[in-house]
């Protein structure tokens, strides 16, 4: 009976109910958008750093982290790959890489560069690197072709079809030098690496560095990136007899952890400020609704209705309004998030340069997560229910004679 009475009361004044529901709905939409934007930005940064630098997990020589030298490259052959894949069904695939720093030269200009030998098929399977080519293509093994970051190519005044000279130190101190045709330019998402990255095929890089069949790091791609720690422990047991160690991205990039934690903290501060603004907005709506119904409450009390029953009916009304507001906020918020997910905003000019400097792409990314919906919906619902106690408290202390004025 109380539920039916409360539901009918809502629609006796449709405009008042719709205004209250709308205030809660827009509060939910705002909270969803802010949190989804922050989570999307953090996920974008993590994907860029893990996809193009460390991966989620790496296998290295146990000396490599302290001394990142080609002397500490390790042998990667079919037997090691088969042992890892056989013992660990939750490993999706492995990506061999060899990395070193060398001097890169065009016709007149020389710059330091990071040379990375990669298996292009496996790299593309992991991070879709081919889609980032701005012009040209990746070369096949033995073709002596290189793909440069666009920033590095501009610094060296090189274009597709030009010749790139590489000079450096190979394995065991041997001199390494070679000429490569620039076959493509890549738009790298991290500015610092865009200004120094050079991609070679894995076999060409191993030949250049006198490190045949050796790699400096082996990226492990798990089937479920959330299960890194158990997989890391079991992999460590598998490869420890080969003088190898397993590192997760958290261990390789502690500064990224700090950056993400700081961003999460600043996002929480923004959300709390938003909650305060939302709370005052909803309270203003509820206060107006209560004052409009002050005479109605007084008449009901004067004809003998118990204050507790009236307060219960009003609380159920506000509960219905809260639920309707949250659900409608989920619906409208999902439409907005879907729009920005499939058509992200592209930044240009100084804003794009600033985002690149901090390792972000110049786009506004949105992420979908059930946790965000549950967290923000629950937070707004709790805030609304606390505010909606006001009419019940007002009824409990109402002076019947004063309410009729």
* Chain segment 335-385, per-residue pLDDT in tens: 888 888 777 777 666 666 666 665 556 677 777 777 788 887 788 778 877
CA 301 to chain centre: 55
58, part of any domain: no
55, part of any domain: no
Residue where a domain terminates, one of 187, 207, 242: 242
335, part of any domain: yes
Residues 184 and 108 in one domain: yes
- Whole-number Cα distances in Å, 285 to 90, 106, 132, 292, 388: 53, 68, 50, 11, 10
322, part of any domain: yes
- Whole-number Cα distances in Å, 329 to 30, 121, 237, 304, 379: 9, 43, 49, 38, 13
Residues 235 and 306 in one domain: no
Q: What digits encode the pLDDT tens for the residues 140-167?
A: 888 899 999 998 999 999 999 999 999 9
Distance CA 390, CA 388 (A): 5
Q: What are the tokens at 328?
A: 């409608």
Residues 311 and 352 in one domain: yes
Looking at residue 32, its pLDDT comes to: 84
Residues 182 and 276 in one domain: no
Residues 221 and 77 in one domain: yes
Distance CA 378, CA 324 (A): 13
Domain count, the chain: 2
Residues 110 and 233 in one domain: yes
Residue where a domain terminates, one of 208, 242, 276: 242
169, part of any domain: yes
Residues 286 and 235 in one domain: no
If pLDDT is split at 50, 70 and 90, which confidence band does 181 have? very high
Percent of the chain with pLDDT over 70: 89
| 273: containing domain | 2-49+256-403
The whole-model pTM stands at 0.68
10 Å Cβ neighbour count for 17? 18
249, part of any domain: no
Distance CA 50, CA 149 (A): 18
If pLDDT is split at 50, 70 and 90, which confidence band does 100 have? very high
Residues 231 and 376 in one domain: no
10 Å Cβ neighbour count for 197? 21
Residue where a domain terminates, one of 242, 271, 287: 242
Residues 277 and 397 in one domain: yes
Residues 23 and 166 in one domain: no
CA pseudo-torsion sign 327, 331, 332, 338 = positive
Distance CA 298, CA 405 (A): 10
Looking at residue 97, its pLDDT comes to: 92
What element of type H or E holds 112?
strand 110-118
DSSP state of 115: E
């Amino acid at each position: 009976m109380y539920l039916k009475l409360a539901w009918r009361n809502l629609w006796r004044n449709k405009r008042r109910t719709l205004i209250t529901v709308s205030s809660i709905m827009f509060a939910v939409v705002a909270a969803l958008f802010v949190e989804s934007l922050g989570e999307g930005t953090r996920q974008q940064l993590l994907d860029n750093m893990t996809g193009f630098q460390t991966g989620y997990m790496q296998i290295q020589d146990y000396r490599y982290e302290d001394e990142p030298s080609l002397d500490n490259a390790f042998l990667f052959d079919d037997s090691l790959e088969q042992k890892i894949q056989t013992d660990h069904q939750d490993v999706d695939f492995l990506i061999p890489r060899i990395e070193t720093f060398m001097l890169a030269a065009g016709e007149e200009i020389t710059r330091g560069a990071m040379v990375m030998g990669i298996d292009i098929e496996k790299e593309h399977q992991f991070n879709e690197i081919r889609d980032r080519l701005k012009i040209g293509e990746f070369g096949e093994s033995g073709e002596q072709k290189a793909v440069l970051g666009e920033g590095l190519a501009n610094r060296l005044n090189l274009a597709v079809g030009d010749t790139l000279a590489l000079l450096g130190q190979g394995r065991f101190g041997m001199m390494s030098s070679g000429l490569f045709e620039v076959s493509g330019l890549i738009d790298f998402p991290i500015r610092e690496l865009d200004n120094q990255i050079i991609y070679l095929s894995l076999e060409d890089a191993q030949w250049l560095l006198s490190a045949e069949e050796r790699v400096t790091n082996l990226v492990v791609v798990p089937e479920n990136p959330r299960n890194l720690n158990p997989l890391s422990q079991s992999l460590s047991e598998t490869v420890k007899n080969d003088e190898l160690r397993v590192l997760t991205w958290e261990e390789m990039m502690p500064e990224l952890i700090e950056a993400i934690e700081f961003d999460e903290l600043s996002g929480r501060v923004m959300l709390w400020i938003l909650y305060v603004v939302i709370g005052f907005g909803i309270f203003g709506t509820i206060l107006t609704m209560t004052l409009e119904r002050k005479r109605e409450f007084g008449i009901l009390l004067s004809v003998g209705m118990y204050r507790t029953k009236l307060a219960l009916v009003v609380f159920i009304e506000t509960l219905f309004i809260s639920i309707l507001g949250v659900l409608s906020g989920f619906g409208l918020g999902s439409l907005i998030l879907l729009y920005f997910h499939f058509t992200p905003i592209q930044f240009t000019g100084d804003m794009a340069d600033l985002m690149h400097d901090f390792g972000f792409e110049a786009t506004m990314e949105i992420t979908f997560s059930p946790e965000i919906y549950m967290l923000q919906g629950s937070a707004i619902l709790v805030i609304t229910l606390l505010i909606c106690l006001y009419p019940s408290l007002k009824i409990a202390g109402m002076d019947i004679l004063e309410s009729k004025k």
